[in-house]
Chains A and B, each alone.
Chain A
Amino acid sequence: MRRMSWFNATSLTLGFVFLYLPMLILVIFSFNASKLVTIWAGFSTKWYGELMRNEAFLDAAWVTAKVAVASSTLATVLGTMAALVLVRAGRFPGRTLFSGMIYAPLVMPEVITGLSLLLLFIGIGLDRGVLTIVLAHTTFSMCYVSVVVSSRLVTFDDSLEEAALDLGCSRLEAFLLVTLPIIAPAVISGWLLAFTLSLDDLVIASFTAGPSATTLPIKVFSAVRLGVSPEINALSTIMITIVAVGVITASLVSKRAAVKRRNEEQAAGRA
């Protein structure tokens, strides 16, 4: 392998330090025996134990998981439907308006989205709780799903669906049996994107959450305002681990699939 020039080595080091030093410090201090966050007093895993006994955190984590699964699933269904209309339906009255409104929440300040949803929920008399957070998260994350899915649909060969119709499928069967399995990777990444957006959303959740339901980000944020406890560090470390394992597994799986496919295509070319 070629040796790296001093410039590249410096850039790489700076990049890594900038991105990961804060997280590294957080992880290290989650194993601190002392209650004081900034003073090292030996290695301990006691804060992880404390965390497991903290009902409030566990409740918040459970609410967050429920909200993330429900809202990302709902957002995936709605976002995929919106993408289908935008890519497939051709020109129809109001198309530009619709596509503009689909993408607007991407650039809309979250505070405004949150506030308007809050006003809506108050207006229709919906008690704030898990349901309102789910609805709010669905609203903004379906735009992301729709962007991801429509970029896949643009390159989708329409003759595949026509072939399904030609072979006796109804429109719905053609979509479920042919289109959906083929665009599944995009739909799944849309779901994952919506899921992570929902997991770490603080702003919109704090507008739409009520006393009966608090998500983890809100819990962490309010706990930190009373001072950073090592428990929070432990919680954050667990979340970092989950995300890292997820990302690494996903990239390994997709890389192996790509290599396998390339080899098979080359073998088919030789045959």
Chain B
Amino acid sequence: MEQHVFAPWLNPDEKPLIQFKGVTKRFGDFTAIDNQTLDIYAKEFFALLGPSGCGKTTMMRILAGFEQPTEGQILIGGKDMRAIPPNERPVNMMFQSYALFPHLTVWENIAFGLKREGIPKDQLNARVEEMLRLTRLAKFAKRKPHQISGGQRQRVALARSLAKAPKLLLLDEPLGALDKKLRQETQFELMDIQEKTGTTFVIVTHDQEEAMTVASRVAVMDEGRIIQVATPADIYEAPSSVYVADFIGDVNIIQGTALKAGDGYDIAWAEGRAPLHSKREGDGFSPTNGASVALAIRPEKVSISAEQPSGVTNAVKGRIIDIAYLGNLSTYHVELEGGQMIKAQTANTRRLSRRSYTWEDEVWVSWTDTAAVLLEG
């Protein structure tokens, strides 16, 4: 059975909605964005992810029109945006601080953009009511922003930015001010609203979990450069660099030198120890013999056992140094002979009192030849 998968970036005939073409932005001596090219397609939920100061917010402000690129070109729907001021772009933005107008009611806040368009009153009323329903705010229409809770303010900000039915909605750390539980609920609400309205969303966040949850594609950024653009699953399972592997989730990195062996590589990682074998390389990476490499393995792909496992490519002996109990999971910190630390994660399907291993136990850690990714070291 063929299933329709949403992946316009794989279709060469698809026209991107947003195009960054060699965009550079400098503030004085500081380069916020360094010659970046990026395509974003209609109906995508695209996440710009990175630590603070990596240029993700600048990318968004360039799209909104609050900043002009120093070099390069921005196209939205094929149209050059250089001379177009923010108020004439088919783009709306939801601000990190929400930027709700404190002197206007919830209703007036949502109606603000529509009034500027000068649409007839009955259409305006209908649209505002629709937005209030979509964001479940009908009860609060007459309140001022200071009379509602943080979560409600967040929804007003979303309703206000969606009211004009923009082609593109920009969300700047939209959930940063909410507590964890509310944030998770709201993430699903955002995805739901994105699907219902069919609007293209570009979200800026430093929270990798949030980016992974909501986005169709994620761009990982660092120091003004986009390091990798891929689906959340690919970002996690097939990172293109140690930086991405380390930024997204937890990872074990083993440094070594590569040697072509059979259908993969042998990695010499410690004096006098059997090499590790891996069949997967990072995107576009083919190490020459003797090249220094980094082997990245996710902790949940590392098994832990008391006896030497049979039929597994990579198995190394070590000693449990630390156990982090997270309730549903436990992470074992295992020191291999030679000092390398490896984290192994197991689901706590049994109760704690019946745990098989404890501190100082001698154990074997093992993983298959496809569990790890070979990256430039």
Contacts of A173 in B (CB 8 A): 116
CB-based contact B96/A159 at 8 Å: yes
Supposing A157-B97, A167-B164, A170-B87 touch, asked if A265 and B147 sit within 8 A by C-beta, the answer is: yes
Contacts of A164 in B (CB 8 A): 101, 112
B310 contacts partner chain A, Cβ-Cβ < 8 Å: no
CB-based contact B99/A264 at 8 Å: no
A242 contacts partner chain B, Cβ-Cβ < 8 Å: no
CB-based contact B87/A162 at 8 Å: no
Contact digits for A154-195, partner B, Cβ 8 Å, 1 yes 0 no: 000101101111111110010001100110000000000000
Q: How many residues of B contact A (CB 8 A)?
A: 30
Task: Kindly state the separation between the CA atoms of A182 and B146 in the bound complex, as whole angstroms.
Answer: 13
CB-based contact B148/A268 at 8 Å: yes
B86 contacts partner chain A, Cβ-Cβ < 8 Å: yes
Contacts of A167 in B (CB 8 A): 87, 92, 112-113, 116, 160-161, 164
CB-based contact B116/A168 at 8 Å: yes
CB-based contact B147/A267 at 8 Å: yes
CB-based contact B64/A268 at 8 Å: no
Specify the chain B residue showing the minimal Cβ separation from A162. B66
Interface residues of A in 241-271 (CB under 8 A from B): 261, 264-265, 267-269, 271
Supposing A264-B146, A264-B147, A265-B146 touch, asked if A165 and B99 sit within 8 A by C-beta, the answer is: no
CB-based contact A268/B146 at 8 Å: yes
Of B96, B113, B152, which is within 8 A of A168 by CB?
B113
CB-based contact A168/B87 at 8 Å: yes
Of A163, A181, A182, A271, which is within 8 A of B95 by CB?
A163
Specify the chain A residue showing the minimal Cβ separation from B85. A165
Question: In whole Å, how far is A59's beta carbon from the nearest beta carbon of chain B?
Answer: 41
B353 contacts partner chain A, Cβ-Cβ < 8 Å: no
Supposing A162-B86, A166-B86 touch, asked if A261 and B97 sit within 8 A by C-beta, the answer is: no
Interface residues of B in 49-98 (CB under 8 A from A): 64-66, 85-87, 91-93, 95-97
Footprint of B on A, CB under 8 Å?
157, 159-160, 162-170, 173, 177-178, 181-182, 261, 264-265, 267-269, 271
A sample of 6 more A-B contacts (CB under 8 A), given A159-B99, A268-B148, A269-B149, is A159-B97, A165-B86, A167-B112, A167-B164, A169-B116, A173-B116
